[in-house]
Amino acid sequence: MSITPDKLRYCESHEWAYVADPSTGIATVGISAFAVEELTDLVFMALPKVGQKLTAGSEFGEVESVKAVSPMYSPVSGTVVEVHSALVDKLESLGVDPYNEGWIIKVQMSDPTELDKLLDWDAYQKQCNH
């Protein structure tokens, strides 16, 4: 089943988190369509390694576009359990489907209640339209 943006939780810095099955405590993380549009043409992406510990708000990777390097911030705390390494060679898929083909990492959350502090779709849209 495909993920739709209204089902996600968002950081103000435009990363999203999605928990398909709460019993696993695993959040899939990516960047929003708005962020991809702001970034324009993507050139390079650096990703973390499996096993890397993250805290909510910490940098987990970097992306370069139009000679500008931008960080990506983790929406949740936990441990990286899966990395979408193939994405680095097909960054264009982020522009086509940032919420499914464009997922970036999966994180085993250490504190799932952090999700409640993230923006829901309505609040995130309001931020983007500000």
Partner 1 sequence: MQSLACETNLSESATGLVVLDPPRSGAINMAIDESLLANAQPNWPVILRIYQWEEPTLSLGHFQKIEDRDNLESLRTLPWVRRKTGGGAIVHDHELTYSILFPNRTGISNAGRSEPTKGHSEALYRAIHLQFAAALKSLGWDAKLSESCTCKVGPNADKEPFLCFSRRSPVDLVVGDAKILGSAQRRSATGLLQHGSFMLRRSAAATHLAGLLDVPADPELGDHGFDGNFDWQTFFIATLKDGVDKLLQVQWRDGKLCELPGALDEKAVVPRA
| Contact residues for partner 1, defined by CB under 8 A | 12-14, 31, 35, 38-44, 46, 62-71, 73, 89-92, 127, 130
How many beta carbons lie within 10 A of that of residue 6, not counting itself?
10
d(C-alpha 79, C-alpha 102), whole Å: 20
- Is the separation of the CB atoms in 39 and 13 below 8 Å? no
The candidate with the shortest Cα–Cα distance to 110, out of 20, 8, 15, 27, is 27
Whole-number minimum distance, CB 61 to partner 1, in Å? Answer: 12
Nearer to partner 1, 73 or 124 (CB): 73
Whole-number minimum distance, CB 70 to partner 1, in Å? Answer: 4
Whole-number minimum distance, CB 93 to partner 1, in Å? Answer: 9
Nearer to partner 1, 91 or 109 (CB): 91
Whole-number minimum distance, CB 91 to partner 1, in Å? Answer: 6
Amino acid identity of residue 90, one-letter, is: K
Produce one character per residue of 93-112: b if its CB has 16 or more CB atoms within 10 Å, e if not: bbbeebbebbbbbbbbbeee
Nearer to partner 1, 20 or 92 (CB): 92
Nearer to partner 1, 62 or 120 (CB): 62
